[in-house]
């Protein structure tokens, strides 16, 4: 199992890194062709915009939808911290590469996992039931949400031994690899584009329109 973990981890990490580099380079070249992106970019206004959109309720649209905003921030925080600091993952990092990886108590990562799954179901219902969100939702968006939630569901089941541990941990590893590989090539790539898109919007609104974009 440890050998399989090492191989799949390398596949996921290398594929994720190469995919991110490819997308960043290709989008950078596309922005250069447009000839209106780089001239507008301004460090001050770009950083100001990014800061406001990273701050909970820093933008007016966030304040207009407080429940969705709060759930979204909780979802993203738990989505990042639970996999990085899960005790089982930390043990594998230490065994595989002798890295002094920190970890959180199992009860806390369990709670974070349940937050991700619960809010994920909320996002799914929102995409299906809210008209303005359903209008811009394609089947690929629903599939991406399943890809995101699958590692958490399988990891939770494996950790609590609800089903065969060997099968569920294998499914957990495969789902995690698929998740990482999907990031550069699906809407999950917003984790890469967020800073750039917000910096551009902030620069355009601040330096050109002399207005705020939040």
75 part of a folded domain:
yes
Q: Which of 105, 107, 103, 109 is nearest to 91 (CA)?
A: 103
124 part of a folded domain:
yes
pLDDT of amino acid 36? 79
Kindly list the averaged pLDDT for each block of 10 residues, start to end, along the chain of length 214. Answer: 70 90 88 82 87 84 89 95 91 80 93 97 93 90 94 95 91 92 90 86 84 79
pLDDT of amino acid 209? 83
152 part of a folded domain:
yes
38 part of a folded domain:
no
pLDDT of amino acid 90? 87
56 part of a folded domain:
yes
Q: CA triplet 38, 41, 43: central angle to 5 degrees?
A: 140
170 part of a folded domain:
yes
Q: Which of 121, 164, 168 is nearest to 145 (CA)?
A: 121
pLDDT of amino acid 2? 54
pLDDT of amino acid 45? 86
Asked if 80 and 69 count as a contact pair (C-beta separation under 8 A), the reply is: no
pLDDT of amino acid 122? 95
138 part of a folded domain:
yes
Give the CATH number for residue 106: 1.20.950.20
pLDDT of amino acid 194? 86
Domain that holds residue 79: 2-26+46-208
pLDDT of amino acid 95? 79
Q: Which of 200, 192, 202 is nearest to 37 (CA)?
A: 200
**Domain count within the chain:** 1
Asked if 105 and 123 count as a contact pair (C-beta separation under 8 A), the reply is: no
pLDDT of amino acid 179? 93
168 part of a folded domain:
yes
């Amino acid at each position: 199992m440890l050998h399989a973990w090492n191989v799949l981890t390398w596949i996921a990490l290398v594929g994720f890194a190469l995919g991110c580099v490819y997308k960043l380079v290709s989008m950078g070249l596309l922005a250069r062709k447009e000839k209106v992106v780089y001239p507008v970019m301004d460090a001050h206004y770009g950083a100001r915009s990014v800061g406001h959109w990273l701050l909970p309720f820093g933008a007016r649209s966030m304040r207009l939808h407080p429940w969705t905003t709060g759930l979204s921030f909780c979802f993203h925080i738990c989505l990042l911290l639970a996999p990085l600091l899960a005790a089982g993952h930390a043990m594998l990092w230490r065994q595989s590469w002798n890295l002094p990886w920190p970890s959180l108590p199992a009860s806390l990562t369990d709670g974070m996992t349940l937050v991700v799954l619960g809010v994920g179901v909320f996002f799914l219902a929102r995409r299906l039931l809210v008209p303005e969100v359903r209008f811009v939702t394609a089947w690929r968006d629903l599939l991406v949400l399943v890809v995101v939630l699958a590692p958490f569901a399988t990891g939770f089941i494996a950790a609590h031994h609800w089903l065969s541990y060997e099968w569920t941990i294998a499914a957990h590893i495969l789902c995690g690899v698929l998740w990482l590989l999907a990031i550069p090539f699906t809407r999950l790539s917003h984790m890469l584009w967020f800073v750039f898109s917000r910096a551009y919007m902030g620069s355009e609104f601040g330096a050109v329109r002399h207005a705020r974009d939040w």
